[in-house]
Chain A
């Protein structure tokens, strides 16, 4: 009786440890705790409330809702380079679409273009596919293993060239774990 109880505890402990190990994939536990603590600090308006906040942050960080099979993390330098590119391109895309909306002749030249992936890794591809919906004249309408189909509003050659530049920036956002930072 006692023996089986002890065995059950051991099995349960082993299970929990395995699960904790699995949680290490993705962004990485310490960084996640720090990030969630930052979000808590922001949404409380800097007033604290850490009696509730600390358990909430720890639980949220431990139960990673996005467990991935791929091991990667954010590359700080890539993120810093991405922010100004994103700001500039969003502004340009909004002005572009606003211009098409007010122009009396409504200059739209929609086309579907197939775009093959250059970037490796599912996370980078999903990120790019969602990102281009906010970028000038592109909308992802199909997502496959080989590439994506993009709905565009203007000149195909220029749009594809812009996409390739954006893809390079997105590729530098992520760093596969086990690889040295450059």
Chain B
């Protein structure tokens, strides 16, 4: 097992805790806005680390780029979705917790 394999594997294992902590935030945070914070940030960094880690492990440039493409698509999806849900919730008169 060479160095790149180890670095890639390390990134994958670094990414997984963000999923667990994102879910913890989803359960513990008090309202939809704070939960959006937890999900949009933690899960996407987790996904990024896993994608880049697996890409490095594969040892193929095109596969690494494909995994990064998947990550970027998910980034666009969740950034847009988070903004859309937050704006709609506020315009519906859903008051943020603690304000």
* A/B touching: CB–CB < 8 A: yes
* Shortest beta-carbon distance from B12 to chain A in Å: 15
Interface size class of B (residues with CB under 8 A): 35 or more
The CA-CA distance from A78 to B38 in the complex, in Å, is 29
Known: A46-B62, A108-B98, A139-B36. A133 touches B79 (CB 8 A): yes
B10 at the interface (CB under 8 A from A): no
Contacts of A137 in B (CB 8 A): 37
Select from chain A the residue with minimum beta-carbon distance to B90.
A141
Q: How many residues of A contact B (CB 8 A)?
A: 37
Contacts of B59 in A (CB 8 A): none
What per-residue 1/0 map shows which CB atoms of A105-140 lie under 8 Å from chain B?
010111110000000000000000111011011011
User: Total A-B pairs in contact (CB under 8 Å)?
Assistant: 120
Is the Cβ of B41 less than 8 Å from the Cβ of A93? yes
Set A108, A136, A140: member contacting B30, Cβ < 8 A = A108
* Shortest beta-carbon distance from A128 to chain B in Å: 11
Contacts of B83 in A (CB 8 A): 129-130, 133, 139-140, 143
What per-residue 1/0 map shows which CB atoms of B23-38 lie under 8 Å from chain A?
0110011110110111
Select from chain A the residue with minimum beta-carbon distance to B64.
A42
A9 at the interface (CB under 8 A from B): no
* Shortest beta-carbon distance from B29 to chain A in Å: 7
B: which residues have CB within 8 A of A? 17-18, 21-22, 24-25, 28-31, 33-34, 36-38, 40-42, 44-46, 48, 62-63, 65-66, 69, 75-76, 78-80, 82-83, 86-87, 89-91, 96-99
8 contacts between A and B (CB under 8 A): A42-B69, A94-B41, A98-B18, A101-B28, A110-B34, A133-B82, A141-B89, A142-B90
